[in-house]
């Protein structure tokens, strides 16, 4: 697991909107965005346990029309993301035996976030 990075933006209420808007739009200017996944600890742990990941980075995989080398340069300073942009074939191979959470086009977290927000837990 990665080290805590003080001063980095890691909170889900800030990072998820960034991933689904600004970052997605930057990538879409270069190649069509087909899917977005979380992998690593946020892909494995249930959303309810994310408080254990305070200060930890986000492992984000974008399935796109083509692979982008050095995709991390697209991430704004301050966001604590490890970003991979791969083709469909590369993505399928990479996540084949991995537990992930899809954010786009189907947002598997949307219901959970809304539920917790409405319950007053966040």
How confident is the model over 6-40, as pLDDT tens digits? 678 999 999 999 999 999 999 999 999 999 999 99
Diameter over CA atoms, the chain: 41
CA distances 52 to 14, 36, 41, 85, 103, Å, are: 17, 23, 10, 27, 20
Domains in the chain, start-ordered, CATH in brackets? 12-116 (3.30.460)
Euclidean distance between CA atoms 99 and 91, whole angstroms? 13
Task: Please report which confidence band the pLDDT of residue 118 belongs to, taking 50, 70 and 90 as the band edges.
Answer: low
Neighbours of 58 (CB within 10 A): 26
Output the six-digit token pair for 20. 């689904």
How confident is the model over 52-90, as pLDDT tens digits? 999 999 999 999 999 999 999 999 989 999 999 999 999
3-state helix vs strand vs coil in the chain, percent to 5: 40, 20, 40
Contacts made by residues 12-16, CB under 8 angstroms, sequence distance 24+: 12/50, 12/113, 13/122, 15/58, 15/79, 15/80, 15/81, 16/103, 16/109, 16/113
């Amino acid at each position: 697991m990665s080290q805590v990075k003080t001063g980095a933006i890691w909170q889900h209420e800030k990072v998820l909107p960034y991933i689904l808007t600004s970052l997605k739009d930057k990538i879409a200017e270069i190649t069509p965005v087909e899917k977005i996944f979380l992998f690593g600890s946020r892909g494995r742990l249930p959303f309810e346990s994310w408080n254990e990941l305070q200060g930890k980075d986000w492992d984000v995989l974008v399935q796109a029309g083509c692979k982008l080398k050095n995709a991390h340069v697209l991430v704004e300073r301050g966001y604590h993301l490890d970003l991979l942009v791969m083709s469909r074939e590369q993505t399928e191979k990479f996540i084949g035996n991995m537990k992930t959470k899809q954010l786009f086009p189907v947002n598997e977290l949307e219901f959970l976030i809304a539920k917790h927000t409405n319950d007053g837990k966040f």
